[in-house]
Structure 1
Amino acid sequence: MLILLCGIVFLHVAVLALLFVSTIVSAWTVSTTSSSDLWYNCSTNGAYNCQPGSTGVWIQAVQAVMILSIIFSFLSLILFFCQLFTLQKGGRFFLTGAFQIFASLFVMSGAIIYTVMSPEWVPPSESFGFAYILAWVAFPLALISGLIYVILRKRE
Structure 2
Amino acid sequence: MLVVLIGTVILHLLDLILLLISTSVSAWRTFNSKSYDLWYDCIAKNGKYECQDAGNAAWLQAVQGLMILATIFCLLSLIIFIWQLFTMNKGGRFFFTAIFQILSSLFVMSGAIIYTVMRPEDQDDGHLFGFAFVLAWLAFPLTLISGLIYIILRKKE
TM over 0.5, yes or no?
A: yes
Larger relative helix fraction: 1
Which amino acid in 2 is paired with 1:61?
A: A
Which amino acid in 2 is paired with 1:9?
A: V
Give the alignment's TM-score, normalised by structure 2.
0.93
Cα distance between partner residues in 1 of 2:52 and 2:69 = 24
Unaligned runs of 5+ in 1: none
Unaligned runs of 5+ in 2: none
Q: Does 1:68 align with 2:82?
A: no
The correspondence of residues 7-156 of structure 1 with structure 2, limited to 5 A, is: 7-44=7-44, 49-120=50-121, 122-124=122-124, 125-156=126-157
Cα distance between partner residues in 2 of 1:155 and 1:25 = 39
1:48 Cα offset (Å): 5.9
Task: Report the secondary structure of 2:51's partner residue.
Answer: strand
8 Å contact 1:27–1:36 — kept in the other structure?
yes
Cα distance between partner residues in 1 of 2:49 and 2:12 = 37
Cα distance between partner residues in 1 of 2:155 and 2:14 = 22
Q: Deviations over 1:52-71 (max 9, x none)?
A: 12330110100000000000
In the superposition, relative to structure 1, how do residues 48 and 76 fare at CA in structure 2: closer, same or farther (>3 Å)? closer
1:49 Cα offset (Å): 4.9
Q: Deviations over 1:54-89 (max 9, x none)?
A: 330110100000000000000000000000011111
Give the alignment's TM-score, normalised by structure 1.
0.93
Aligned length: 155
8 Å contact 1:22–1:134 — kept in the other structure?
yes
Task: Report the secondary structure of 2:55's partner residue.
Answer: helix
Cα distance between partner residues in 1 of 2:89 and 2:50 = 57
8 Å contact 1:53–1:60 — kept in the other structure?
no
Q: Deviations over 1:115-151 (max 9, x none)?
A: 001133x533310000000000000000000000011
Q: Deviations over 1:13-60 (max 9, x none)?
A: 000000000011110001113110100122357996533123301101
